[in-house]
Structure 1
């Protein structure tokens, strides 16, 4: 059993919704990945796909369940709800594989919470280019990570 058994809170979900935005027609993101709803990706998303608001909500709920499980499994130290929500937003945007291989996770699991927090802004690139929107998201995630419960 993992150390944490947390689920994304309404605050974490709101952060994800804010930065992902809602698109009911499939589009290609900055690096060409087909995306729909609140940043949902996968083999089910193709050119021409349209969904309803209700379907977008359900996709987000399903995706968050997967990310909740993944972050709970990867983090081996006790964290608070805000730290968890920040890691969910980070992973939702970049993928669990990015979190798994990150210095951020290594530092966090070593108990160095401040150094882990300082890693968030380093993840501000897409397609090899700095993206202001990604830096804004990483700074918001870092701020949430550093907010006591």
Structure 2
């Protein structure tokens, strides 16, 4: 449960050992924080989007973080109307940090997520 949230709706960080007691609690947190990611996409994207584009970008921003989105090559390409280039950038962000080595490593789960977002982002 928790939809990979790293923060509660009030901004507090999720800590190791925190437990959500129900799917409803997880859903409430998700709904309460989703708007901040939607707002970032709405604020920084300067070109027309389809609903699928928007959904893919919100998903990406939710998973990668608002700073990563704002500073991304994906956003730069998108704002120059390079939809294909932006879509292809979704597949580039497919790594996670290994907590033991601090190195970026490919992650199948993240690859699958980025592929699903890319599928939502027709050029």
**Normalising by the residue count of structure 2, what TM-score does the alignment of the two structures yield?**
0.86
Q: Helix, strand or coil for the counterpart of 1:129? A: strand
Q: Which residue of 2 aligns with 1:112?
A: 82
Query: 31, 49, 55: which one pairs with 2:18?
Result: 49
Q: Which runs of 5+ in 1 are unaligned?
A: 1-22, 24-36
Q: Which runs of 5+ in 2 are unaligned?
A: 98-103
Q: Which residue of 2 aligns with 1:95?
A: 65
| Divergent runs of 4+, >2 A | none
Q: Which residue of 1 aligns with 2:54?
A: 84
Higher relative contact order (CA 8 A, sep 6+): 1
Count of residues in Structure 1 that have an aligned counterpart in Structure 2:
112
In structure 1, distance between residues paired with 2:76 and 2:95: 20
Deviation at 1:62, TM superposition (A): 1.0
In structure 2, distance between residues paired with 1:129 and 1:79: 31
Deviation at 1:55, TM superposition (A): 1.0
Q: Which has the higher strand share?
A: 1
